[in-house]
Structure 1
Amino acid sequence: MYDDVLVPTDGSEGTAETLRHAVELAGNHDATLHALAVVDERKARSLPEERRDEAMETMHRRAERAVDEVAMRAEEGDVPVRTAVREGAPAERVLDYAEDVDVIVIGTHGRSDHERYVRLGSVAQRVVENARVPVFVVHIDGDTS
């Protein structure tokens, strides 16, 4: 049913739970796990020009570390893995990459009702609303108060 499982990652501590689900899902289906980190160049563009290159380099290093962590966890679970780092708006790049996979496993933070209203633009929400493949959403923290 699933041959290719996509797990977008930003490398934050909270992604461990999402990664656990993604590795298990891929392993259960003998699927390849695809780790994707997106460097949001919009953040660098908001900086003074003299700091942009350094900021982009830093964001690329973080993205590489994030996908390397996924690769290590996948290999520990004997799950084949492919890694990728892309530049752009995170939700758009995830959706672009998802054209070639069967399911997306993505994490989201628990939010209060007010925070949900204020943060309608979250990456996870955009992916859920626009993906053409199933999306498995993992709550990466339990604080919904």
Structure 2
Amino acid sequence: MDEPHDFDDILVPTDGSKAARNGVNQAIKFAQRNDATLHVLYAMDMGDADYVAVPSDISQTRRRLEKKGQTFVSEIEDLAADADVSCVTAVKANTPVEAITDYVDEHDIDLVVMGKRGRSDPDKPLLGSITNRVIGSLDVPVFTA
């Protein structure tokens, strides 16, 4: 019988959605069982903000998204602390897929735990487009909740 995986670093991306919260709950359980560090990531997808004519609008959008992301990752950091799980948080400016794949590479992540679908595609029946693209982009296991 194969030995269970040892996961030292577990990434849970969040967009603040209900599906993301499901992923968070599972990620915390995995981190507890493996005595792993939980990494929480929020991607500030600036979208078309770079094309806004007024630079101050871009700055305001960035600050608003960063504040929103900090709120989301701080809430998860508190949940991890309550569960006695070591936690690292990050808010990155990038598309969600690129932010996740870059973070996995930069931090030697062993497992990604994410919700099946997020805010951008609540009517999709099984897996959201971001989850699907992340699964296809990584060489590490991705657990969907």
Bin of the TM-score, shorter chain as denominator length: 0.7 to 0.9
Q: Which residue of 2 aligns with 1:60?
A: 66
Is 2:113 aligned against 1:108?
Answer: no
TM-superposed deviation, 1:46: 5.0
Asked whether the 8 Å contact 1:36–1:83 carries over to 2, the reply is: yes
Q: Percent identity?
A: 32
Q: What stretches of structure 1 of length at least 5 have no aligned partner?
A: 139-145
Asked whether the 8 Å contact 1:103–1:136 carries over to 2, the reply is: yes
Q: SS of 1:108's equivalent? A: coil
Q: What stretches of structure 2 of length at least 5 have no aligned partner?
A: 1-5, 118-122
State the TM-score, normalized to the length of structure 2.
0.83
Q: Which residue of 1 aligns with 2:120?
A: none
Q: Partner letter of residue 102 of structure 1?
A: D
Q: Which residue of 2 aligns with 1:127?
A: 134
TM-superposed deviation, 1:45: 2.7
1:11-50 map, 5 Å: 11-45=16-50, 47-49=52-54, 50=56
Q: Partner letter of residue 108 of structure 1?
A: K
Q: Which residue of 1 aligns with 2:3?
A: none
TM-superposed deviation, 1:48: 4.7
Residues 9 and 53 of structure 1, relative CA distance in 2, 3 Å threshold: same
Asked whether the 8 Å contact 2:11–2:113 carries over to 1, the reply is: yes
Runs of 4+ aligned structure 1 residues displaced above 3 Å come to none
Q: Which residue of 1 aligns with 2:144?
A: 137
Q: Which residue of 1 aligns with 2:92?
A: 86
Asked whether the 8 Å contact 1:35–1:82 carries over to 2, the reply is: yes
CA distance in 2, matches of 1:55, 1:35: 22
State the TM-score, normalized to the length of structure 1.
0.83
CA distance in 2, matches of 1:80, 1:26: 8
Is 2:85 aligned against 1:75?
Answer: no
Q: Partner letter of residue 37 of structure 2?
A: T
CA distance in 1, matches of 2:76, 2:64: 19
Asked whether the 8 Å contact 1:11–1:65 carries over to 2, the reply is: no
TM-superposed deviation, 1:15: 2.2
**Worse-matched range after superposition: 11-20 or 54-63:** 11-20
